[in-house]
């Protein structure tokens, strides 16, 4: 088996820049990764901290504040699906893969077109992007299906899928270019027992129609299966990239402590560190309400993020709004809504805790009523756009979307 790397260099696209510069070095100390800024980077007038308070602009090694790696570094790494693609690549290439690869291996082998404005290289002087071969949506869908089945890929498809291996999440996905657009393509899985991809399309499109800030989405088909195309909002064009920080990192939590993340704590961070805090808290509250009404209980802190410009945070558009299966009536959000730990998936509870978001009861009710009306009136049109069957419409309606439990006690 090939030896694991012990260091990697972090490259960053500074705000407004079209090309990256080396920012510093990651060193493995057991399972922990320390970070050291390069002297040349610290000498730059335009240098920014990769994220505060984790990585202030200073000399010397910086140990993680929590966990075994700085959160902003972890945010740029591959998640479950990307790690699976890298393992498949290892097996297909040499058969020496292990399910216990070091974090540095995942950072160095995942694609360079990762979410945000960081990349990881073996060199401090030569930036060599790990780019994939251009592949069609159908070819990427075929490659994702083969990875799910544990089948090695051809070299070309291997490179194409590795290109998108740094994108977070657990479901099959890839990166795609369509003319000038940068897209994330999400595919249905061989294990899906209901139209998961169409469900996400419904949620994202309805979120747009209730006036939430979301990226444009488009439903396509590849190899007879659904594919959701999502426009990337971390690529403003002309080679520029925008640094993104997850809510998990903003809240100063490690993966192990993610269960302690709450919307109320995120609201506190918004008041202290975000641009346009009042507007942003209203947007956050509106997203919480929509998650409840759309049955998205997978609202963990990596499914919320902000842009970082070196001094302030700005909430990104909402993403990964995915209705979840419902076995019974009662359900709860992953992130607590109230300061008292309240997390039940009910809009009445959202209204009760609206003051945490600097909203009056009247403001909160206006948001809820607007969303209820928009979802009900737009439902058929959005289902038609998704070409959803009568059976599938019945599966989603009043089960994930506008579940009676979500409305208990409201009015």
Distance CA 209, CA 370 (A): 10
188 close to 226: Cβ distance less than 8 angstroms:
yes
Length of the chain: 411
Name the pairing type of β-strands 118-121 and 181-187.
unpaired
Distance CA 258, CA 303 (A): 12
Q: Is 26 helix (H, G, I), strand (E, B) or coil?
A: strand
Could you give the dihedral angle defined by the CA atoms of residues 400, 403, 409 and 411, in that order, rounded to the nearest 10 degrees?
A: 100
Burial pattern 312-327, b for ≥16 Cβ within 10 A else e, equals ebebbbbbbbbbbebe
Distance CA 148, CA 229 (A): 20
pTM for this model (two decimals): 0.91
348 close to 372: Cβ distance less than 8 angstroms:
no
First-to-last alpha carbon distance for the chain, in angstroms, is 63
Nearest to 364 by CA among 334, 403, 337: 337
The arrangement of strands across the sheet holding 313-315 comes to: 244-246, 305-308, 313-315
Instruction: List the domains of the chain with CATH numbers.
Output: 7-121 (no CATH), 137-231 (3.30.200.120), 244-407 (1.10.1070.20)
Name the pairing type of β-strands 21-29 and 7-12.
antiparallel
pLDDT tens-place values along the chain, 411 residues long? 457 889 999 999 999 999 999 999 999 998 899 999 999 999 999 999 999 999 999 999 999 999 999 999 999 988 776 777 777 666 654 444 445 678 898 899 888 888 999 999 999 999 999 876 566 666 666 666 666 666 554 454 445 455 444 555 556 777 777 777 888 888 887 777 889 999 999 999 999 999 999 999 999 887 677 889 999 999 998 889 999 999 999 999 998 999 999 999 999 999 999 999 999 999 999 999 999 999 999 999 999 999 999 999 999 999 999 999 876 789 999 999 999 999 999 999 999 999 999 999 999 999 999 999 999 999 999 999 999 999 999 999 999 999 999 999 998
107 close to 77: Cβ distance less than 8 angstroms:
yes
Residue 135 contacts by C-beta under 8 Å, 6 or more apart in sequence?
A: 143, 156, 157, 160, 174
DSSP 334: S
Strand-pairing partners, residue 187, are: 227
DSSP 76: T
Tokens 């002297």 belong to 39
Residue 342 contacts by C-beta under 8 Å, 6 or more apart in sequence?
A: 336, 349, 352, 353
- Ramachandran bin of 218, using left for φ above 0, alpha for ψ from -120 to 50, beta for the remaining angles: beta
H/E stretch holding 307: strand 305-308
User: What would the two tokens of residue 369 be?
Assistant: 């009523």
Tokens 């690869």 belong to 101
């Amino acid at each position: 088996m090939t030896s694991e790397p012990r260091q990697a260099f972090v490259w960053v696209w500074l705000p407004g820049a079209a090309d990256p510069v080396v920012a510093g070095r990651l060193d493995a100390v057991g399972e922990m990764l320390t970070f050291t800024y390069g002297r040349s980077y610290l000498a730059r007038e335009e240098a920014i901290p990769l994220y505060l308070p984790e990585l202030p602009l200073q000399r010397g090694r910086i140990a993680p504040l929590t966990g075994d790696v700085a959160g902003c570094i972890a945010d740029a790494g591959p998640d479950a699906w990307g790690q699976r693609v890298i393992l498949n690549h290892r097996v297909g290439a040499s058969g020496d893969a292990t399910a216990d690869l070091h974090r540095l291996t995942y950072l160095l082998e995942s694609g360079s077109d990762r979410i945000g404005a960081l990349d990881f290289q073996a060199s401090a002087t030569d930036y060599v992007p790990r780019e994939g071969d251009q592949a069609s949506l159908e070819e990427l869908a075929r490659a994702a299906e083969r990875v799910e089945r544990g089948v090695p890929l051809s070299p070309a498809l291997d490179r194409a899928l590795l290109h998108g291996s740094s994108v977070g999440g657990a479901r099959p996905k890839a990166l795609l270019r369509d003319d000038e657009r940068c897209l994330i393509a999400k595919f249905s899985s061989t294990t899906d027992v209901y139209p998961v991809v169409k469900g996400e399309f419904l949620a994202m499109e309805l979120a747009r129609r209730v006036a939430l800030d979301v990226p444009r989405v488009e439903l396509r088909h590849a190899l007879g299966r659904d594919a959701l195309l999502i426009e990337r909002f971390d690529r403003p064009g002309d080679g520029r990239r925008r640094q993104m920080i997850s809510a998990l990192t903003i809240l100063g939590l490690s993966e192990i402590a993610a269960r302690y993340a709450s919307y109320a704590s995120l609201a506190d961070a918004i008041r202290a560190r975000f641009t346009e805090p009042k507007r942003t808290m209203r947007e956050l509250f509106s997203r919480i309400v929509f998650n409840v009404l759309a049955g998205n209980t997978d609202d963990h802190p990596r499914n919320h993020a902000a842009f970082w410009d070196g001094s302030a945070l700005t909430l990104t558009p909402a993403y990964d709004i995915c209705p979840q299966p419902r076995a019974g009536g009662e359900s709860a959000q992953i992130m607590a809504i109230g300061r008292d730990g309240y997390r039940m998936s009910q809009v009445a509870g959202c209204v009760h805790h609206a003051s945490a978001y600097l909203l009056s009861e009247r403001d909160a009710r206006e948001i809820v009523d607007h969303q209820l009306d928009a979802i009900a009136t737009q439902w058929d049109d959005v289902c038609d756009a998704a070409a959803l069957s009568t059976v599938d419409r019945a599966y989603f309606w009043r089960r994930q979307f506008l579940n009676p439990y979500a409305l208990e006690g409201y009015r």
